[in-house]
Structure 1
Amino acid sequence: MNETSKIAIFFDAENVPAAMVPEIISFLSTKGDILFQRAYADWSIANTKAWQTQITKTPITAIQQFHHNQEQAVDKAVMMDAIELAIKHEEIDIFTLVASDNGYYSLSLRLRELGKRVIGIGEKGKCSPIWINSCNEFQYFEDLEEVDDDILLQSEKPAETSEIKDFALEKFLERAFDSTPFYKDTNTKLLSQMWESILRQKPDFSVKDYGKKTAREFIMSFDDKFKVSDDGKNQKTFFVEKIESKNSQRITGIIKRKIGCYCIISSTDKDKKGDYFFYRNEINPKYKKQKLEKGMKVNFVVVREPNLNAGTFKDKNGRATDLMIEQQT
């Protein structure tokens, strides 16, 4: 069994957009347990307002650092605290430095000398090669996956968002499965470890909110996406396997509606009528920078075909992926 990584995150809040925090936390929660989250800034300056709002929703410790007419005051505070934490807490094996400031490369190298893995996160076009290459791994803000938790788990939803709740939940579970290590040399994962991945992303997640009694019963309800099995012993150990779609047919359609991170696409293929659900981060990489708009002509790969006679929205609508935008006339 793989031991879960322990993570510390350091935000240079003066050069990181507060709006990126949910995406950053979601990305890192798939890699292990986040133990420390610290954001550094002179919180008296006007452009930290958005951060101050974000910190009321996210358990990040705000560290005040006046500039005192000194350059890189925040950078120096981050560097001192990160090194101190690395020395005092041997259990932390991943240090994440969130900044587009290239001065952090020396901190990254020092942390690696201390045996830590370093993940850098910054804005594309602003980060120099020396900052990027000093890290074990580097992620750009622009490549982080949009977070759909607001659609997924709010208790009171507008009518138009409540209808896609099942699809948002399915995507949430896929992300948890993908972040869970495989069991030995198999293509399955321990149900217990997948559940740990779910709780890292959403600590208050409860199957009772979805009318289920156990984690096994809950995962089994997604029988077109996951297969649950056991080892046959009296004290059973349960395993989860992801069912991959073998359908690779590409058809055409028009974007019918946009809801948060999702689109509903109406097929224009005469042999494949119906609506298809699409998660916006599954767009073909060639079109990542283009904005999806209602009425836009697209083509996509069919993951699951619609069942027009089904009684629920989830079953009635199909699933789409690898969406490409067709030339607009």
Structure 2
Amino acid sequence: MSKIAVFFDAENVPAKTVPEIIAFLSTKGDILFQRAYADWSITNTKSWQTQITKTPITAIQQFHHNQEQAVDKAVMMDAIELAIKHEDIDIFALIASDNGYYSLSLRLRELGKRVIGIGEKGKCSPIWINSCNEFTYFQDLEEIDDDILLESESTKDSNDLEGFAVEKFLEKAFDSTPFYKDTNTVLLSQMWESILRLKPDFTVKDYGKKSAREFLMSFEDKFKISDDGKNQRTFFVEKIENRNSQRKTGVIKRRIGCYCIISADDKKGDYFFYRNEINPECKKEKLEKGMKVDFLVVKEPDLNAGKSKDKNGRATDLKIIK
């Protein structure tokens, strides 16, 4: 697995993009270094200071001293020093919209490092973009919800949503794990590493299970577990893709954290929906109670299920009907 060092020019990177950036880079390998540079005494870094209390990023203080690009120079010196001292670091991620970083990118590549650049669309010049091995924009990163497991949810409905929330969390971990060779499966051990990168304190004991394999097997409609048949078995995980092409209409019944509950027009039950699965054409729309929607059925409701959370169906690709 690749090892990554991440450098943020915090004076021109929105703090709100940090979770999305870290999630994106985590799919590339193991992040060993995370550093953010700024003059932390200035007022416009307050949102960053709040973010750093939740994310393990080392804050580096750099006063400007009436000189231009003081932060840029500090990032450049530290990145080159790290590249020379740590041969094991494969990837350097430079998070900035400042086009002056192209020279650092080229130097890192000369030292044999792969460079990933991330910046704001419309502000990054071709020379900065083309100096990187790979470049992406803040606006194109997948939105991350900190409350995906309902940790901050205290409503009476959270018990009903718990199973659905865990499913979405596991799907996210699977999607951030590299496929094994040329297959559509991932190694169970690597998927577990992805789970812990997303949530370091996650434990299957909270769900009454003894092992990661037993835990994932309890989501039999979402994941398939197999092994290589050897004495020291290696386990693989495959995600069962939805092949249901049926669409329905309904009304948003409730909003709970990053989820919605939809009441279908056919009166055959309710459907859970994770808001990040909204159709891209409707991403900018705010979902409200009572809103008319069209959605793709992932799983039909089972009104005869023993537990209330299992009675609800699953929905995706939600579109707003106007």
> If the length of structure 2 is used for normalisation, what is the TM-score?
0.92
Question: Counterpart of 2:317?
Answer: 322
200 and 235 in structure 1: CA distance in 2 versus 1, 3 angstrom threshold: same
Displacement of 1:212? 0.6
Question: Counterpart of 1:93?
Answer: 90
Whether 1:200 and 2:197 are equivalent positions in the alignment is yes
For residue 102 of structure 1, the aligned residue among 71, 78, 99 is 99
For residues 148 and 256 of structure 2, the distance between their equivalents in structure 1, rounded to whole angstroms, comes to 9
With 216-225 and 109-118 compared, the bigger mean Cα shift is at 109-118
For residues 167 and 188 of structure 2, the distance between their equivalents in structure 1, rounded to whole angstroms, comes to 16
Whether 1:311 and 2:290 are equivalent positions in the alignment is no
Question: Counterpart of 1:51?
Answer: 48
Aligned residue type for 2:274? Y
Question: Counterpart of 2:257?
Answer: 260
Displacement of 1:162? 4.3
Given that residues 151 and 161 in structure 1 are in contact (C-alpha distance below 8 angstroms), is that contact kept between their aligned partners in structure 2?
no
For residues 162 and 149 of structure 1, the distance between their equivalents in structure 2, rounded to whole angstroms, comes to 18
Question: Counterpart of 2:80?
Answer: 83
Whether 1:297 and 2:296 are equivalent positions in the alignment is no
Aligned residue type for 1:14? E
RMSD over aligned Cα atoms = 2.0
With 148-157 and 242-251 compared, the bigger mean Cα shift is at 148-157
Question: Counterpart of 1:281?
Answer: 276
For residues 282 and 42 of structure 1, the distance between their equivalents in structure 2, rounded to whole angstroms, comes to 38
Question: Counterpart of 1:20?
Answer: 17
For residues 209 and 62 of structure 1, the distance between their equivalents in structure 2, rounded to whole angstroms, comes to 34
Displacement of 1:53? 2.1
Question: Counterpart of 1:184?
Answer: 181
For residues 129 and 289 of structure 1, the distance between their equivalents in structure 2, rounded to whole angstroms, comes to 28
Aligned residue type for 1:98? I
Given that residues 150 and 257 in structure 2 are in contact (C-alpha distance below 8 angstroms), is that contact kept between their aligned partners in structure 1?
no
Aligned residue type for 1:56? T
For residues 196 and 135 of structure 2, the distance between their equivalents in structure 1, rounded to whole angstroms, comes to 25
Given that residues 148 and 168 in structure 1 are in contact (C-alpha distance below 8 angstroms), is that contact kept between their aligned partners in structure 2?
no
Displacement of 1:153? 6.4
Q: What SS is found at the alignment partner of 1:180?
A: coil
Question: Counterpart of 1:227?
Answer: 224
For residues 152 and 140 of structure 2, the distance between their equivalents in structure 1, rounded to whole angstroms, comes to 29
For residues 156 and 298 of structure 1, the distance between their equivalents in structure 2, rounded to whole angstroms, comes to 24
Given that residues 150 and 158 in structure 2 are in contact (C-alpha distance below 8 angstroms), is that contact kept between their aligned partners in structure 1?
no
Show structure 2 runs of 5+ residues with no match: none
For residues 136 and 314 of structure 1, the distance between their equivalents in structure 2, rounded to whole angstroms, comes to 45
1:195-249 Cα offsets, whole Å, 9 max, x none, are 1221222222111111111111000011100011223333322221111111011
Q: What SS is found at the alignment partner of 2:147?
A: helix
Q: What SS is found at the alignment partner of 1:81?
A: helix
For residues 123-138 of structure 1, what are the structure 2 equivalents within 5 Å? 123-138=120-135
149 and 296 in structure 1: CA distance in 2 versus 1, 3 angstrom threshold: same
Aligned residue type for 2:315? A
For residues 129 and 323 of structure 1, the distance between their equivalents in structure 2, rounded to whole angstroms, comes to 36
Given that residues 254 and 266 in structure 1 are in contact (C-alpha distance below 8 angstroms), is that contact kept between their aligned partners in structure 2?
yes
Aligned residue type for 1:6? K
Displacement of 1:257? 2.0
Whether 1:11 and 2:8 are equivalent positions in the alignment is yes
Show structure 1 runs of 5+ residues with no match: none
Aligned residue type for 2:180? Y
1:77-112 Cα offsets, whole Å, 9 max, x none, are 111111211122111111111122222222222222
Aligned residue type for 2:33? F
For residues 311 and 124 of structure 1, the distance between their equivalents in structure 2, rounded to whole angstroms, comes to 49
> If the length of structure 1 is used for normalisation, what is the TM-score?
0.90
Given that residues 115 and 133 in structure 2 are in contact (C-alpha distance below 8 angstroms), is that contact kept between their aligned partners in structure 1?
yes
153 and 113 in structure 1: CA distance in 2 versus 1, 3 angstrom threshold: farther
1:7-35 Cα offsets, whole Å, 9 max, x none, are 11111111222222222222222221110
Q: What SS is found at the alignment partner of 1:152?
A: coil
For residue 143 of structure 1, the aligned residue among 100, 116, 140 is 140
155 and 209 in structure 1: CA distance in 2 versus 1, 3 angstrom threshold: farther
Whether 1:246 and 2:243 are equivalent positions in the alignment is yes
With 241-250 and 16-25 compared, the bigger mean Cα shift is at 16-25
